[in-house]
Structure 1
Amino acid sequence: MSEATLTTGGTQGAAIRLERALPDPPTVVWRALTEREQLKAWFPCDVIVDGGRWEPGAGLSFVFGAEADGLIMKGEVLEAREPESLAFTWGEETLRFTLSPQGTGTLLVLVDELRPGIAARNAAGWEGCLELLAGGTRDKDTWRPLFERYTALFSPTLGEQEGPPAGME
């Protein structure tokens, strides 16, 4: 597991980048990124693709459960090059996944282009999600220390960091 890194600038003002070495080849990881049932195992919400195909222009619905009062965010597929790269909007953010062969496995790179005030929150959240994708477990108690660490790292550059959205504490 590698620590999230921060860049500034771009259309949103900031981006966080996380890497994970995964034991499965890119074709298997691609399915984990694009098949609804597999996404449910690691992504923070249910993902519904309009028309069922990950292709540029396809609409996305991100359906959160009762803990977020049934929030539904919208998005759009920007790029889908199987099994190399996937990019889509997630509400106001842009998520970019790059898959590169690494031995018999995959190096996955996630870049989240976002508003500066949520960088620490999202870095901590994506660490937990990628841990699940890598076959680990998520302990809800680990989010807070990760958030505090990223807040200390990112605040000098980005300013005050927001905690979790209402209902997601």
Structure 2
Amino acid sequence: MYASLDQTGNQWRVTVTREFPQPRDRVWRALVEPEPLAVWFPAAIEGERAVGAKIRYVFPTGEAFGAEESAMLGEFLHFDPPALLEYTWAAENLRYVLEPNGTGGTVLTFCFTFDDVSTAARDATGWHVCLDILGEHLAGSLEDEPERKTALERQWRPVFAHYVERFGPDAAVQPPPSET
């Protein structure tokens, strides 16, 4: 259930696996369509859903994790419904692989690749909690922004503490967003 952290060359990768009872096409829609995406993902994704398409992330709070601008840019690298989705998140990379689980559900493997290990505990926590919220949304128990915010607040600190302990002090130099 918890993420792993691996290094490949000069980059780091957080990998999270989740199993959902919903079929791949339903999980896929939650990954790419604006309404379900708004429930669990930290930003709106503006732009065409296609390989090579430029995209823009617009944050509901008006700021991009402390950046002066309220949006970040990215690009779709893979868009193969309902099996593979990959795009850049500024200089980072997000990859989702969806596989059938054999019982009508879906196994989602999410990989987040980045350069700075000092953010690993914070980023692993963020994606871990977002994917938990995705599961709650798919199950029908989480439908809107206020519920999402409550779920984030409820889960953030214990999950962050786990990743600080698991990944070590070098991976926890950057504090959670609420402490910056």
Change in Cα spacing, 1:21 to 1:160, as seen in structure 2 (3 Å) is closer
In structure 2, distance between residues paired with 1:95 and 1:152? 24
Deviations along 1:73-122, whole A, 9 cap, x unmatched?
A: 11000001111000000111100000000111100010000121111111
Note the C-alpha offset of 1:159: 4.7
Note the C-alpha offset of 1:161: 2.7
Q: Which amino acid aligns with 2:109?
A: V
In structure 2, distance between residues paired with 1:118 and 1:91? 15
Note the C-alpha offset of 1:66: 2.5
- 4+ long deviations beyond 4 Å: none
C-alpha contact (below 8 Å) 1:78/1:87 kept by paired residues: yes
Change in Cα spacing, 1:127 to 1:88, as seen in structure 2 (3 Å) is same
Note the C-alpha offset of 1:160: 4.4
Question: Where in structure 2 are the equivalents of 1:32-43 lying within 5 Å?
Answer: 32-43=30-41
In structure 1, the residue matched to 2:80 is: 81
TM-score by length of 2: 0.82
C-alpha contact (below 8 Å) 1:86/1:98 kept by paired residues: yes
2:144 is the counterpart of 1:145: no
Change in Cα spacing, 1:154 to 1:124, as seen in structure 2 (3 Å) is same
Which one has the bigger helix percentage?
2
SS at match of 2:108: strand
TM-score by length of 1: 0.87
Question: Where in structure 2 are the equivalents of 1:7-156 lying within 5 Å?
Answer: 7-10=6-9, 13-49=11-47, 52=48, 54-66=49-61, 68=63, 71-102=70-101, 103-114=103-114, 115-135=116-136, 138-155=151-168
In structure 2, distance between residues paired with 1:99 and 1:83? 7
Note the C-alpha offset of 1:168: 7.5
Which range moves more in the overlay, 103-112 or 142-151? 142-151
SS at match of 2:174: coil
Deviations along 1:13-39, whole A, 9 cap, x unmatched?
A: 210000111111111111111111111
C-alpha contact (below 8 Å) 1:56/1:79 kept by paired residues: yes
CA RMSD of aligned residues (A): 2.0
In structure 2, distance between residues paired with 1:18 and 1:153? 14
Q: Which amino acid aligns with 1:64?
A: F
